[in-house]
Chains A and B, each alone.
Chain A
Amino acid sequence: MKKAIILLILFSFLFGKVTVVTSTTDLADIVKQVGGDRVMVTSIARGNQDPHYVEILPSYMMKVRKADIYFMVGLELDLWAQYIIDGSRNRKLEVVDCSVEINKMEVPIGKVDASMGDIHQFGNPHYWLDPENGKLIARIITRKLSALDVEGQEYYNNKLADFEQRVDLALEKWESQFSNLVGKKIIFYHNSWPYFAARFGLKTVDFLEPKPGITPSPSKLNQIIQLIKSNDIELIASETYFSDRVPKFIATKTSVKTVMLAQSVGALDGVVSYFDLFETNLRILSKAYGLEND
């Protein structure tokens, strides 16, 4: 009898959870933060992977096949998710776009076409790189989890309140501790950072990519080298999925420093949570600028 009860508890523990799949590790971590023990979550893209291009593997369809909810980034970042969702043949799956309540940046005006590069017609999709947007994402996730797991509604709401409070405290600390980053000029490899730069006051001067998604050309590199020399730009930052060959080449021609920033949870060692993402990136930037807040 005792064994049967233990088995029953174990069964309900393992199978009573809401199963969630997300497009990225950032969304997965926020699901963990607000879902706690009541959810099982897995991400399709790895943290060090370019979220624009994810190969559509049948094994991803198997992950989604068992899921209750799929949280996607939206804004045309994870267009590949649609093929995975279709291929999963999961009839009960609910798909949630986490971008719906975000105040989008860089929404193009007028006609958008491929001559502009890999531009996102509904706005820049890297919105999770602002902690304030993390709170909006968490609210959407909480609403969906609560709707599906009504018994856990209070639990999710409490976890959300705790998450929002921790974000507020962390943000207050980061804005104070790294206030000397405000106004610092920076060149990014790809335009992944407008939300991050706006939140922490960095001044984005240019990008290594001549247009989004387009490999840096020799003429663009020359232009960047001149720009660095004439404007005393100290830093080039790139995502971990890009080769460091181009930034290092520019560094040999100028006095610029190069760093890799974590574009997502898991992109760099030690970045295991949504909070680590900001803490690590801000420390890397601060150290590279010689501001030393350690």
Chain B
Amino acid sequence: MDKQIVGGLLLTAFLFGQTTINPDFSVIGDLIIDQSEDEIGLSSAGIEMVIQGYVNPFARADVYIHKHNDESALELEEAVITIERGLPLGLGLRAGKFRPDIGKINKDHAHLFPFIQAPKSMANILGEEFWSPTGLEGSILLPLPWYTKLSIGYFDEGFGGHKHMLNDKSNEDDDYQGKDEEEGLSNGVLSGRWSHFIDLNDVTHLEVGASGYSGDEKSLLGADLKFKWRPDKYRSLTIQGEVFQLNENREAHENDLNSQYDEENDKVKIIGYTFINYQFNKAWNMGLIGDFSTFDISDDEEDKYVDKSNYNFALFFGYSPVEESSVLRIRIAPDGDDINLMAQLIWSLGPHKPHRY
């Protein structure tokens, strides 16, 4: 992982070394207060450092480095060069380590969510920090009257393998390193998404997408939807959801990474989430999120194959006193017979702030 960080920084230095203009540099940090069963814990989802800028008139580079908590090492989350200007036929290209265009939520960093925790079922499938492999992705804006984009990418590893690396063990603990390498072993995967964005009127918009993924051990089909109504600066309503059907070859996964795909051994998993978020004045928003899976999503590896429907719900509130530079979020969720209360304070330094749709 250290090599990845050094590689990312070298890429940054190389890319921006040809200009005298510095790139934008931002830091986003947080503090989490977690209350459950009369215990109160303080933690942090970590610090995210972001370096962004134009490399030349045609290409932009974005580098995200994440330190998850005190005990974890720095991780290179994304180091990607994007070419959107200058290519013919509405083509775009991304290359490097980045979050592929699959589903709706995978591309978003956690601080962009209106809630604290990512839907558990999605994190279980895509990985704790979602799917961010190394690869190449091409996209095209299709010549239709509305915005419609088709993306197809080829990547070095499938999703679900990401685990946070511990600081002192990253170079010493052979077992851990072996696991990480093992999870990276793959012949490469293909993924894609076809999305459509439609203006229902000046202030109401609908986005729908269909995603697909194919690797040695897994294949996936997904559908996503986002509806947003923003009549003015003080009010907005967002409804977003997506559902994945994951076909997983359990035998191949467990025993032989090089075995052939065998439909008889397929395990079908259905996961999904939906949330509704209402901003009711300049600073406040509230909402409800629910997610589900058709299998057990406990941390026990073996239990992942147990057919057991899971449902999770949480209420969330957000308060942004000073634009997007600081946000307080509160999450209330059932936890067995108890109620789990969580609060998160996010701050951002620099120009990287959530503006994108």
What is the interface of chain A, defined by CB distance below 8 A to chain B? Answer: 46, 48-50, 53, 55-59, 61-62, 65, 80, 83, 86-87, 89, 91, 114, 118, 213-215, 241-243
**A120 CB to nearest B CB, Å:** 13
Known: A86-B85, A118-B323, A241-B232. A215 touches B283 (CB 8 A): yes
Check B282–A55 contact: CB distance below 8 A: no
Given the complex, which residues of A lie within 8 Å of B146, measured CB to CB?
Answer: 59, 62
Assembled-state Cα–Cα distance A153/B349 (Å):
47
Which one, A50, A61, A114, contacts B147 given CB within 8 A? Answer: A61
The size of the chain B interface, using a CB distance under 8 A, is 34
What is the interface of chain B, defined by CB distance below 8 A to chain A? Answer: 60, 84-88, 90-92, 141, 146-147, 149, 197-199, 202, 205, 207, 230, 232-234, 281-283, 321-323, 325, 349, 355-357
Check B205–A59 contact: CB distance below 8 A: yes
Assembled-state Cα–Cα distance A241/B234 (Å):
9
Given the complex, which residues of A lie within 8 Å of B91, measured CB to CB?
Answer: 89
Known: A58-B357, A83-B355. A53 touches B88 (CB 8 A): no
Given the complex, which residues of B lie within 8 Å of A48, measured CB to CB?
Answer: 232
Which one, A49, A57, A59, contacts B233 given CB within 8 A? Answer: A49
Assembled-state Cα–Cα distance A243/B147 (Å):
33
Check A87–B199 contact: CB distance below 8 A: no
Assembled-state Cα–Cα distance A80/B353 (Å):
11
Which one, B199, B230, B322, contacts A59 given CB within 8 A? Answer: B199
Given the complex, which residues of A lie within 8 Å of B322, measured CB to CB?
Answer: 213-215
Which one, A50, A55, A86, A215, contacts B355 given CB within 8 A? Answer: A55
Which one, B198, B199, B282, B357, contacts A56 given CB within 8 A? Answer: B357
Assembled-state Cα–Cα distance A12/B43 (Å):
65
Known: A49-B233, A83-B356, A215-B282. A58 touches B84 (CB 8 A): no
Check A243–B234 contact: CB distance below 8 A: yes
**B48 CB to nearest A CB, Å:** 18
Check A80–B355 contact: CB distance below 8 A: yes
Assembled-state Cα–Cα distance A56/B353 (Å):
12
